[in-house]
Chain A
Amino acid sequence: MSKKVSVWTDNRFWQRSATWVTGFSAVLLIWLTFDTMGQISMGTQKDINAHITKRVPSSTVINYKVEYKMNQRRGHEVPVIGGDDGKGNSLFKIKEEFFGRDDYTQKEADALLHLGKLTSQAKNCMDCHTLLGNGAYYAPDLTKAWLDPMWQKDGPMQAMTGKKTKEEAMAEFLQHPGKYPTHARMMPNLGITPKEPKDWLHF
C-alpha cells in the first residue's frame, strides 16, 4: 500500500506488539516459576528439626500430629505440624503414631510417599475424587481426608471397619470398599495406606 496509513491500522505494528507482549509475559512467567519452584520444593527432616516451616514439608510429618489452622501471616488456613503456637505456626512437637509407629526415618517415609503417589495415579483416583481442587467431583474431596470427622475416633468409619485408628480404618476401607457402602462406592483396589499422609499435608 502506497498511501500512508495510521499506525493503528498497520499490521506490522500489531505484529510487533503481539510479539513483545507475548515475550514479556513469557519471561515474567519463567522468572516467577523459578521463584515458586524454590518455595514449593519438598522439605526434609532437618527442616523439621530446625523448626523451619516449608510449604511442602518433609514426608516425615507422618510422625507428627497434623491439623489445619488459620495462619495469621499467610492469611488463610495452613497445615500445622506437631501443634501450633496460636498464630498458626507449627511447633513440630506433638507426635502421633502412624500404623503404630512415630519414628519413621526420612528414607522410610519417602518410600511410602513414593508408593502412595504412584498408586494414586495408577488407580486413577482423580477421575472420581478431588485433590487440591483438581479432579472429578463425583466422589469426596481427598485433600483433607486425614482430618475428616468421619474417620476420627468418634466417627462412623472406625466403628464400621472395626479398627482402632483412622489409618487402619482407611486401609481396611480402601481394600474392601464394597463391604462398607457409604454412598456411590469406590472400586476395590489395592489400598496402599501410606498414600494418605501425603494428600493432606500440602496446601
Chain B
Amino acid sequence: MQRQSSFKYEGQKLASWYFTVAVILFGVQLVLGLVSAIQFIYPSFLYDILDFSIARMIHINALVVWMVYAMIGAVYYLLPDETGIEVVGIGIAKLLFWILTLAVTVVVLVYIFIQIGPGKESTIWLITEGREYIEAPRWADIGIVVVVLGFLVNTFLTTMKGRRTGIMTVILSDMIALAGLYLAGMFFTDNISMDQYWWWWVIHLWVEATWEVMVGALAAYGLIKVVGANREIVEMWLWIEVAMLFGSGILGLGHHYFWIGTPEYWWEIGALFSSLEPLPLVGMFIHVLYDWGKEKGIKTGTGEDTSSNNTPALMWLVSNGFGNFLGAGIWGFFHTLPQVNIYTHGTQFTAAHGHLAFFGAYATILIAMFYIAVQGKYGIKKTKSHICFQNGDIPHNFRGFRNDCGTYYCRI
C-alpha cells in the first residue's frame, strides 16, 4: 500500500531515488564484505570464481559509491529546504541520476564477470584501474566527472537564486573541492611513489577533509530539522568545525607520506597536523549533545513535549558524533605518529581504523539523513523509533496506540 508522497519539492523526490540506490549498494557492500570475511577463514571459499581481490574490491567500491550517492541525495534533499526554492535544473538532475545509475551498474557487472584484464592501457580504460578505492575504469571516471559537474552546477545555481544560508555556502564550496580532488586520481604513472602521492590526495583529502566537512554540514542541517536547534548557533559551530577540520586535515595528509619514498619532513608535518585531527571530532560530538540538551531543556522549561520530532534520526546523529570521534579520532590517533606507525603501517590495524571510521563518521550521518527523508516522504510529524505496523497482521506482542497519523501497532 503506497501512500501519496508528501515531498514538497521534486528535488526531495530525486533525493529519495538517490537514497534508494544508496541502500541497495549498502546491501551489496555488506554481502561482499561477508564473502571477504569468510575467505579470511576459509581461503578456498569461491576460489577462482570470486576471489578475495574481487570481493574486496566490490566491497570497498560499493562503500564509496553508496556514500557518494547518499551524499548527493542528502544535498538534493536539503537544497530546496535551505534555499526555499525548487532545484533549478530538476529535469537534467533526474536524467543525470539515471545515467550515473546505469554506469554504476555496468561497472559492477564488469567487476563481477570480467574481473581483470591483460596488462594493457585498454584494461585501465575499460575494466579496472586497479587502484584501491578508485578502481573504476577511466571511462567511468570521466562519466562520474560529467555527472558530478552537472550536480554542482545545479547546486550552485539553486543556491545563488534562492536563500543563501551558511550551511549551503559550506556545502557548495566543499562539493567543489571534493569533485576537483577526484581529478588527482585519474592518471597513470610508472612511478609508484608518485602514484601513491596523488592517490592520497584523493583518498585523504576526501575522507579526512572534505567528507568530514560534509558531515559537519549535514549534522548542522539535521539538528535544525530534528531538534529545532538555533540556526545561528549551529552555523557558528559549523564554521569553527570547518576551520578546525581543514586546518588539521589538509596538512594532516602528511601522515600518509611517512614511508612511500617522500621527503622526511613529512614525518614532522604529518605527525603535528594529524594529531590535531581528532580535536574537531571531539568538538562535533560535544556540539550534538549540547544542542540536543539545550533544546530539551528549553522545552522542559516551557512544559512542551521534549521528544525530538525524529528519534531515529537524532539517535543516528548522536552515534555519528560518538562514532566519528571514536573511529576516526581515537583509532586514527592511535597510529598517526610515525613512531607508532612504523609498527602498525600496513597491518590489520589500518583495516580496523578504516571500518570504524567509515561507519562512525559517514554511515551514521547518512543513515540519519535516510530517516529524515523517510519522515519527509510520508509527512510524519513525529517519527518514533518503534517498529510500527498499520493494520494488517499484528504479531501477538504488539499493541495498538493512536498518534497523529492514526492507529499504529508497536512492540510492547
Which residues of A approach B to under 8 Å, CB–CB?
9-11, 14-15, 17-18, 21-22, 25-26, 28-29, 32-33, 35-37, 39-42, 55-56, 59, 74-75, 110, 113-128, 130-139, 141, 143, 178, 183-185, 187-190, 192, 198-199, 202-203
Query: Given A25-B246, A137-B351, A203-B261, A56 and B193 touching (CB < 8 A)?
Result: yes
Query: Given A11-B166, A124-B54, A202 and B261 touching (CB < 8 A)?
Result: yes
Binds A, one of B66-74, B119-127, B148-156, B390-398: B119-127
Assembly CA distance A55 to B194 (angstroms)? 11
Binds A, one of B1-9, B129-137, B317-325, B369-377: B129-137
Is the pair B131, A14 in contact by a Cβ cutoff of 8 Å?
no
Query: Given A122-B117, A136-B56, A130 and B346 touching (CB < 8 A)?
Result: yes
Given contacts A55-B262, A119-B119, A136-B53, 10 further A-B contacts (CB under 8 A): A15-B239, A21-B243, A22-B243, A22-B246, A35-B263, A113-B190, A121-B123, A122-B123, A135-B132, A187-B53
Chain A residues whose C-beta falls within 8 Å of the C-beta of B236 in the assembled complex: 9-11, 14
Is the pair A190, B191 in contact by a Cβ cutoff of 8 Å?
no
Chain A residues whose C-beta falls within 8 Å of the C-beta of B120 in the assembled complex: 118, 122
Is the pair A32, B269 in contact by a Cβ cutoff of 8 Å?
yes
Q: Which of B36, B53, B54, B121 has the most CB of A within 10 A?
A: B53
Is the pair B261, A118 in contact by a Cβ cutoff of 8 Å?
no
Query: Given A22-B247, A118-B119, A184-B43, A132 and B52 touching (CB < 8 A)?
Result: no
Is the pair B192, A138 in contact by a Cβ cutoff of 8 Å?
no
Query: Given A11-B232, A40-B193, A56 and B132 touching (CB < 8 A)?
Result: no
Assembly CA distance A166 to B242 (angstroms)? 52
B87 nearest CB across to chain A (Å)? 25
Is the pair B56, A138 in contact by a Cβ cutoff of 8 Å?
yes
Question: Which 4 pairs between the two chains have the least Cβ-Cβ distance?
Answer: A119-B119, A121-B130, A184-B43, A14-B239
Is the pair A126, B131 in contact by a Cβ cutoff of 8 Å?
yes
Chain B, Cβ-Cβ closest to A40: B193
Is the pair A190, B264 in contact by a Cβ cutoff of 8 Å?
no
Assembly CA distance A174 to B131 (angstroms)? 20
Is the pair B57, A75 in contact by a Cβ cutoff of 8 Å?
no
Which residues of B approach A to under 8 Å, CB–CB?
36, 39-40, 43, 47-48, 51-54, 56-57, 115-121, 123-124, 127-132, 135, 166, 169, 188-197, 199, 232, 235-236, 239-240, 242-243, 246-247, 250-251, 253, 257, 259-266, 269, 345-348, 350-351
A14 nearest CB across to chain B (Å)? 4
A111 nearest CB across to chain B (Å)? 10
Chain A, Cβ-Cβ closest to B48: A187
Assembly CA distance A29 to B265 (angstroms)? 12
Q: Which of A26, A37, A41, A202 has the most CB of B within 10 A?
A: A202
Is the pair A192, B119 in contact by a Cβ cutoff of 8 Å?
yes
Query: Given A118-B124, A120-B130, A187-B51, A110 and B190 touching (CB < 8 A)?
Result: yes
Is the pair A202, B52 in contact by a Cβ cutoff of 8 Å?
no
List 21 A–B pairs whose Cβ atoms lie within 8 Å, in order of A's numbering.
Answer: A9-B236, A14-B239, A15-B169, A18-B242, A21-B243, A32-B269, A39-B263, A40-B194, A56-B193, A74-B264, A114-B190, A122-B123, A124-B115, A127-B54, A127-B57, A134-B346, A137-B351, A138-B36, A139-B52, A202-B192, A202-B260
Is the pair B57, A124 in contact by a Cβ cutoff of 8 Å?
yes
Chain B residues whose C-beta falls within 8 Å of the C-beta of A125 in the assembled complex: 53, 130
Chain B residues whose C-beta falls within 8 Å of the C-beta of A189 in the assembled complex: 116
A144 nearest CB across to chain B (Å)? 11
Chain A, Cβ-Cβ closest to B192: A202
Chain A residues whose C-beta falls within 8 Å of the C-beta of B239 in the assembled complex: 11, 14-15, 17-18
Is the pair B347, A137 in contact by a Cβ cutoff of 8 Å?
yes
Assembly CA distance A194 to B257 (angstroms)? 26
Assembly CA distance A114 to B190 (angstroms)? 6
Assembly CA distance A187 to B195 (angstroms)? 25
Query: Given A14-B236, A22-B242, A25-B250, A122 and B119 touching (CB < 8 A)?
Result: yes
Is the pair A117, B259 in contact by a Cβ cutoff of 8 Å?
no
Is the pair B131, A121 in contact by a Cβ cutoff of 8 Å?
yes
Is the pair A29, B43 in contact by a Cβ cutoff of 8 Å?
no
Is the pair A134, B196 in contact by a Cβ cutoff of 8 Å?
yes
Chain B, Cβ-Cβ closest to A78: B261
Chain A residues whose C-beta falls within 8 Å of the C-beta of B199 in the assembled complex: 134
